[in-house]
Structure 1
Amino acid sequence: MNDELLELLKGWIYSPQVVVLDTETTGLDDQAEVIEISVMDMRGKVLFDQLVRPLNPVPDEATDIHGITNDSLASKPNFPDVYLALRRVISGKTVVAYNASFDNRLLMQTCAAYGLPMIEADWQCAMDAYSRYRKEPDAKRGGYRRQSLAKAAKQMGIEVYGAHRAVADCFTTVEVIGSVYSKLLAKLS
């Protein structure tokens, strides 16, 4: 199991076709939209970082989490205005996200809200990889317990700055991946 995980992380770290993506959203439900999206390479170079004005206002409970207000989005482009630039950055790539099913679903919902096709990419989940590394049993769901990005960072001794903002969460994801890879390599020697 650790050999497979080591190979997966090595592929993420060393392939130029891998990008890390994170979003902030108006919520969690099937009407929620992306309001911030960031993409970076595995070396921490930011390739895309954009606030996006949604169709509907950001609820207070979402703002309480990420701090993004309706006022801060009022003059930002809407999703169709940034879609082509985002597509150039992630189309055909391996997109690694911490809780990839969420980011993938929210990007798909946002594309659908504007009648745009979902951007084709190979989505892979850093949260699942981290859960396989930690190997903490999940009595409720079976398999391994999922850890939040903040918890994973803390467990790996990584300082988190600007949590719940897309670019900061991309950086933290890159750091967690690199730290797990280093620890797995160290176990081999």
Structure 2
Amino acid sequence: MTQPAPAPSAPTFPQPDEQATAAAVRAALKQFRVWAADPRALVVDTETTSLDGQAWSFAGGRPGAPDVLLEITGEPETPWSEKALAMQPEGLRERLCGLPHPRTHCDAVAELLAQNTVLAYNESFDRPVIERTFDLADLPAFGCVALAYAPLAGQWSGSRGYWKTVTLDAACRAEGIDPTQAQAHTASGDVWLTGQLILAVARRAQP
């Protein structure tokens, strides 16, 4: 009986050498300095009912500013996952009950995004959330802070061939920022932390 051929092994991508790694770090630092110097830089974040649910909270603010420019809280239409509820204060769902849906503020969100350089720590998560929560199409491009930071975190994925992203808390701690300074699992708190991260990286010395 003929034995089936073994499955081909997954390709392995070697970690960039020292010169290529240094170049990636320099490019990352340059990007963070561009963001830090941009007066229109706007960090956005959302809190959702589940990984594929709508936002119940949205916030947008400038890096380093003590207060956000826009913060929206409302009752979403999508069901809550147990994990999402467990991350939030007890009784949150009840406090949101009866509030207008965040979509009622779609014009304000659209105007804010259109007029600024939009950044999100996890762009691949927050951008679709904003699209489906506020029924917005043709959003501007978002800069992804997590991807930009990945070479600075220094964790290479040999199976995928790129630098791994790390959590916002991990990136902040690596840059000497205490994540507990911001209220955990809130859109405004993560906006503030992301802004602090951008400024901290921008202050790094060039290698």
TM-score range, shorter chain: 0.7 to 0.9
Other structure's SS at 2:33 match: helix
Q: Is the 8 A contact 2:74 2:101 kept in 1?
A: yes
Matched, 1:151 2:165: no
User: Paired residue for 1:76?
Assistant: 99
Secondary structure in 1 aligned to 2:72? Answer: strand
The equivalent residue for 2:199 is 178
Counterpart of 2:142 in structure 1 is 123
Question: How many Å apart are 1:101 and its aligned residue?
Answer: 0.9
- Structure 1's unaligned 5+ residue stretches are none
3-state SS of 2:87 partner: helix
- 1:176 Cα deviation from its structure 2 partner: 1.1
Match of 1:16 among 39, 44, 63: 39
- Asked whether the 8 Å contact 1:58–1:69 carries over to 2, the reply is no
Q: Percent identity?
A: 25
Q: Which residue of 2 aligns with 1:50?
A: 72
Question: How does the TM-score come out when normalised to structure 2?
Answer: 0.79
Q: CA deviation at 1:119?
A: 5.6
The structure whose Rg is larger is 2
Question: Shift of residue 143 of structure 1?
Answer: 0.9
**1:9 to partner: Cα distance:** 1.4
Give the letter for the 2:33 counterpart: K
In the alignment, the residues of structure 2 paired with residue 171 and residue 66 of structure 1 have an alpha-carbon distance, to the nearest angstrom, of 18
Tell me if structure 1 keeps the 8 A contact 2:64–2:199.
Answer: no
Greater RCO, CA 8 A, separation 6+: 2
Residues 38, 166 of structure 1: 8 Å contact kept: yes
Q: Is the partner of 2:35 in helix, strand or coil? A: helix
Task: Compare 99-108 and 53-62 and name the one that shifted more.
Answer: 53-62
Which has the higher mean CA deviation after the structures are superposed, 95-104 or 40-49? 40-49
Q: Is 1:94 aligned with 2:117?
A: yes
2:183–2:189 Cα contact (<8 Å) kept? yes
Moved over 4 A (4+): none
How many residues are paired up? 180
Q: Which amino acid aligns with 1:38?
A: A
**CA apart distance, 1:131:** 0.5
CA distance in 2, matches of 1:18, 1:187: 22
2:111, 2:169 → 1: CA distance? Answer: 29
Q: Once structures 1 and 2 are overlaid, which stretch shifts more, 94-103 or 58-67?
A: 58-67
Which whole-Å CA distance do the structure 2 matches of 1:125 and 1:80 have between them?
A: 24
Superposition TM-score, scaled by structure 1 size: 0.86
